[in-house]
Amino acid sequence: MQLYNQVAVITGATSGIGLASAAAFAREGARVVGFARHDSDEASRAVGTTGEIVCGDVTNAKDLDSLFAGTQERFGPVNIVFVNAAVVKLSPIGDTSDELFDEIMDTNVKGAFQTLRAAIPYLSEGASVIVTTSFLNRIGFAGASVASMTKAALRSLVRVAAAELAPRNIRVNALCPGAIETPLWGKLGLPQDILQAAGARITAQIPLARWGKPAEVANAALFLASPASSYVNGVELGVDGGLHQI
């Protein structure tokens, strides 16, 4: 087992990539602590009897402090942190309200930063930190200005964190999904016909001519979490079927 007896914390663990990663890490022997706003039976099954789901909000620093303190108390030092919780909603720049801007920035940037900050004192020597970015930070996708900004900010955060944590032999990498079949796509705030048309345009640009599965991204997260990637640090690993790569 690649992650035998490792302690892994995953935010946004009850759906999509986070849920698939929780299941993959648990299958490989990790004791997985999933963190999300709401529990789910599926997530509880994914982490199994050796892990747990903790309810909380990444925008709440006290929730995060409690998450990591509780994880260490129950399982020991943290070996893997997957900073994955995110909100993606689309709106043209001119129509973006302050409320929408704050919602996306608070979760994607402040929430991710707070998660990493809270985790650092509890990370073991040689730990692995993974941060989810997105192909949106590499292109100009109409309507995605705020979401794209947040993911670009996280790419920079990964570089800085990799430099700061290197003396403890802690690796920090970004995982950059392309078009993935997750519930997030249906929560963009667009009418169904527009979603379908946008989805078709994206599919036409993917060399593999299909969208990815959450399990395929989870496999890449597993690689970054495991000793197999022991000399991989500060990178952004694209999992996108070749979208904007070829």
- Here the tokens at position 59 are 């925008």
**Half-sphere exposure (Cβ direction) of 62: Cα atoms closer than 13 Å:** 0
pLDDT digit string (tens) for 106-134?
Answer: 999 999 999 999 999 999 999 999 999 99
Single-letter amino acid, residue 10? I
Residue with tokens 């989810």: 132
Classified by CATH at the fold level, domain 7-239 comes out as Rossmann fold (3.40.50)
Looking at residue 195, its pLDDT comes to 67
Q: What is the pLDDT of residue 66?
A: 98
Confidence (pLDDT) at 4: 97
Q: What is the pLDDT of residue 194?
A: 65
Closest CA to 234 of 153, 155, 151: 155
CB 133 within 8 A of CB 154: yes
Residues 169-191, mean pLDDT to the nearest whole number? 80
Q: Residue 183's pLDDT is what?
A: 67
pLDDT at 185 over 90: no
Residue 202 confidence (pLDDT): 80
SS3 174: strand
Question: Which pLDDT belongs to residue 193?
Answer: 67
What is the average pLDDT across 1-16?
Answer: 96
Q: What is the pLDDT of residue 186?
A: 59
At which residue do the structure tokens 């997957």 appear?
82
How would you class 141 by CB atoms within 10 Å of its CB: exposed for 0-12, middle for 13-18, buried for 19 or more? middle
Cα gap 195→186, rounded to integer Å: 8
- What does the pLDDT read at residue 245? 79
Across the range 177-203, mean pLDDT stands at 71
Task: Specify the higher pLDDT residue, 31 or 91.
Answer: 31
**For residue 190, is pLDDT > 70?**
no
At 150, the amino acid letter reads T
pLDDT in tens, 192-240: 766 676 677 788 888 898 899 999 999 999 999 999 999 999 999 999 9
The mean per-residue pLDDT over the stretch 86-93 comes to: 91
pLDDT at 243: 86
246: pLDDT confidence band, cut at 50, 70 and 90? Answer: confident
Distance CA 221, CA 233 (A): 13
